[in-house]
């Protein structure tokens, strides 16, 4: 359905964020609606932190079927919404709000989105070490995905070590994973002995996106099969991935994770799966990239 065909019967899904102008979710979801011929549309709303509670309350009165949440709302929403999926509760973050006839249900599809992308990439973690850089919502999802893929150690390296400690504690307190995450500072990224064991290193910070530069990483100490994965996605290799490629390592950005979490959200909002490949093609088109 083209946007010109929006009419009084059109059902609306949306994303709330601040900023939100950069979001690729409208392109992905609207491509799936068009492919399925559904009279639905997906809009982006800039919702400030002070307006989040009011915007969430407006979902039902406005008849919005579901909402994705992005920066800076995921963690606050987990405290505002009472009915949370087990995964959203464990992560302390909501990226998906489903309107179930007026009752709002908070869910989180980020960990499953990353988990699926890592599996598609053939990233075998059983018995291996993964390093997650960051300690926010994206990092929490990454730690969970790593443990689900069988990692026996997950080091959480963050600029503010106390936040890494808090994240590691949250997982062990909830008994969510077999082993505890190991909190460190960013100095871990120059620890050649640690890096020599790493099968996967995930960037779950905004470093590179906002700063244009990344912390020092001893890329050459990692084994040849170490996968570098950046949750940030862009047209060109990110500042975290570029040196990894130069060192001959495999390096992948978060476009696949974004597509996967979007496909899972689409199912939750619309109770129907998006046609295979449509959301991915829409994202790659937006990024000006060829499919890979």
CA 242 from centroid of its chain's CA atoms: 21
183 touches ligand NAP by CB under 6 A: no
Q: Which of residues 62-81 bind ligand NAP (CB under 6 A)?
A: 71, 74
**Could you identify the residue written with the tokens 């995450």?**
181
Q: Judged by CB, which is closer to ligand NAP: 41, or 205? A: 205
232 lies in the binding site for ligand NAP (CB under 6 A): yes
Which of 207, 251, 265, 268 binds ligand NAP (CB under 6 A)? It is 207
231 binds ligand NAP (CB under 6 A): yes
**84 or 257: CB nearest ligand NAP:** 257
Interface stretch with ligand NAP, choices 8-16, 124-132, 137-145, 172-180 (CB under 6 A)? 137-145
Contact between 233 and ligand NAP (CB under 6 A)? yes
**By CB under 6 A, is residue 92 in contact with ligand NAP?**
no
Among 26, 92, 106, 136, binds ligand NAP (CB under 6 A): 136
CA distance 48 to 28: 23
Measured from the CB of residue 17, what is the shortest distance to ligand NAP in angstroms?
A: 10
Segment near ligand NAP (CB under 6 A); pick from 27-35, 58-66, 228-236, 268-276: 228-236
With contact defined as beta carbons under 8 Å apart, do 215 and 189 qualify? yes
Out of 66, 137, 181, 239, name the contact with ligand NAP by CB under 6 A: 137
Select which of 74, 174, 193, 242 is catalytic. Answer: 74
Q: Give whole-number Cα distances, 65 to 9, 36, 220, 263, in Å.
A: 13, 17, 48, 15
Q: Would you count residue 49 as binding ligand NAP (CB under 6 A)? A: no
Least distance (Å) between residue 215 CB and ligand NAP: 6
Backbone phi and psi for residue 225, each to the nearest 5 degrees, phi listed first: -95, 10
Backbone angles phi, psi at 153, to 5 degrees: -135, 135
- In the residue annotation, 74 being an active-site residue is answered as yes
Query: What residues are annotated to the active site?
Result: 74
């Amino acid at each position: 359905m083209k946007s010109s065909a929006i009419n009084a019967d059109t059902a609306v899904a949306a994303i709330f964020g601040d900023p939100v102008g950069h979001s690729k979710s409208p392109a992905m979801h609207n491509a799936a609606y068009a492919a399925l011929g559904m009279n639905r549309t997906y809009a982006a709303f800039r919702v400030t932190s002070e307006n989040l509670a009011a915007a969430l309350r407006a979902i039902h009165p406005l008849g919005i079927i579901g909402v994705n949440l992005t920066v800076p709302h995921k963690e606050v929403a987990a405290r505002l919404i009472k009915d949370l999926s087990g995964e959203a509760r464990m992560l302390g973050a909501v990226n998906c709000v489903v309107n179930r006839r007026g009752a709002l249900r908070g869910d989180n599809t980020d960990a499953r989105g990353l988990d699926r992308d890592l599996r598609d990439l053939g990233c075998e973690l059983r018995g291996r070490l993964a390093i997650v850089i960051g300690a926010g919502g994206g990092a929490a999802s990454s730690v969970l995905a790593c443990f689900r893929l069988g990692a026996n150690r997950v080091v959480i390296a963050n600029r503010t070590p106390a936040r890494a400690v808090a994240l590691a504690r949250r997982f062990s307190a909830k008994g969510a994973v077999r082993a505890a995450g190991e909190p460190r500072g960013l100095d871990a990224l120059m620890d050649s002995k640690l890096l020599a064991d790493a099968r996967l290193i995930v960037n779950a910070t905004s470093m590179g996106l906002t700063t244009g530069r990344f912390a020092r990483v001893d890329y050459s100490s990692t084994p040849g099969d170490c996968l570098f994965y950046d949750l940030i996605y862009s047209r060109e290799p990110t500042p975290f991935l570029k040196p990894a490629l130069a060192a001959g390592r495999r390096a992948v950005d978060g476009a696949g994770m974004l597509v996967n979490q979007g496909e899972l959200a689409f199912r939750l909002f619309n109770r129907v799966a998006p046609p295979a490949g449509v959301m991915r093609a829409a994202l790659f088109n937006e990024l000006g990239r060829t499919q890979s």
